Amino acid sequence: MPFDAHGHLIPGSAPQSLAVPPHIARPPYVGLTAPPAYTGDNTYTEAEIERIRAAGRIASGALDAVGAAVRPGITTAELDRIAHEYVVSRGAYPSTLGYRGYPSSSCTSVNEVICHGIPDDTVLREGDLVNVDVTAYLDGFHGDTNRTFRVGRVAEDVELLIERTHEAMMRGIRAAKPGRQVNVIGRVIETYAKRFGYGVVRDFTGHGVGSSFHSGLIIPHYDSAPAYADVIKPNMVFTVEPMLTLGSHEWDQWDDGWTVTTRDKSITAQFEHTIVVREDGFELLTVSE
Ligand code: MF3
Ligand code: CO
Ligand code: CO
């Protein structure tokens, strides 16, 4: 029973973790309770950036496949299986599977779930929204991306939230320029979101990504200045992944240790790209061919 009498989400039952063929290389944290400490910086050579792009292309393609399948009646576990099959059929590993014990190959976050929803037997209904977050690991590098999908037609306020969350992500990405502090990104996102009175989630952030899944570099989506003052450099790689809500930014977590919901059960949307910053702009590394 994945929805309660008020239509709010409640935990469902999750299938067993999906199998990855043995020839596919695992990231180093699989089987550990936490990843080994990351010591590198967040800038990469051109050859490394091409490898992040190759991983990112697979993650993006998985989202294309998932998006084509989203419809009323499908479960989040079925969406996870589609993402999983896409990633492993291209020789990549779904980075979330076994990351700090996370059991699934994607995150599926429905309606008031902000992020890290675990795919289960929840049946999507007309008017729901579902964010699917896929990270692929290939040849030693991760590419991390998510999108929010509409299930059939959604209410006007939800439609606008989805469109504006995507726009907020792109504005944050465009603000990322060498010489600026990373806190410029959240300043731009929050300024835009506040025009519409949206909540801006603070405690889940963008991050450095590449040879590690989460490098330790934090990219807030709110105006954190003077904190988070890391200076952006050419060839830096990180994610921008704002979560905006129709209500407050306050959150709760389920007893599963993962699922994060808005405390007020307001609807929330998210988009994510992995980007590389260039001298004169940026490139998206999580795009399909
Ligand atoms: N892909 C998510 C991100 O954008 C991280 C998910 S970690 C998990 O950073 F363990 F919840 F899968
Ligand atoms: Co991310
Ligand atoms: Co992600």
pLDDT digits (tens, 9 = 90+) for 242-281: 999 999 999 999 999 999 999 999 999 999 999 999 999 9
**Per-residue 3-state assignment (H helix, E strand, C coil) for 64-124:** HHHHHHCCCCCEHHHHHHHHHHHHHHCCCEECCCCHHHCCCCCEEEECCEEECCCCCCCEC
Give the rounded distance of the alpha carbon of 148 from its chain centre.
10
Q: Give the atom of ligand 1 at the shortest distance from the alpha carbon of 213.
A: 9
| 3-class secondary-structure state, position 276 | strand
Summarised one tens digit per residue, pLDDT across range 200-230 is 999 999 999 999 999 999 999 999 999 999 9
Nearest CA to ligand 1 atom 2: 133
pLDDT given at position 283: 98
Distance of CA 103 from the midpoint of ligand 1 (Å): 11
User: Percentage of the chain with pLDDT > 90?
Assistant: 99
Q: Tell me the two tokens of residue 239.
A: 């994610």
Summarised one tens digit per residue, pLDDT across range 40-53 is 999 999 999 999 99
Distance of CA 5 from the midpoint of ligand 3 (Å): 31
Residue 270 beta carbon below 6 angstroms from any ligand 1 atom: no
Contact between 201 and 249 under an 8 Å Cβ cutoff? The reply is yes
Band (1; pLDDT cuts 50, 70, 90): low
pLDDT given at position 289: 84
Across the chain, mean pLDDT equals: 98
Nearest CA to ligand 1 atom 8: 96
Phi, psi (rounded to 5 degrees) for 159: -55, -45
How many CB atoms lie under 10 A from the CB of residue 47? 7
Band (3; pLDDT cuts 50, 70, 90): very high
Summarised one tens digit per residue, pLDDT across range 45-81 is 999 999 999 999 999 999 999 999 999 999 999 999 9
Residue 53 beta carbon below 6 angstroms from any ligand 1 atom: no
Contact between 95 and 106 under an 8 Å Cβ cutoff? The reply is no
Q: Give the atom of ligand 1 at the shortest distance from the alpha carbon of 135.
A: 1
Q: Tell me the two tokens of residue 143.
A: 């590419």
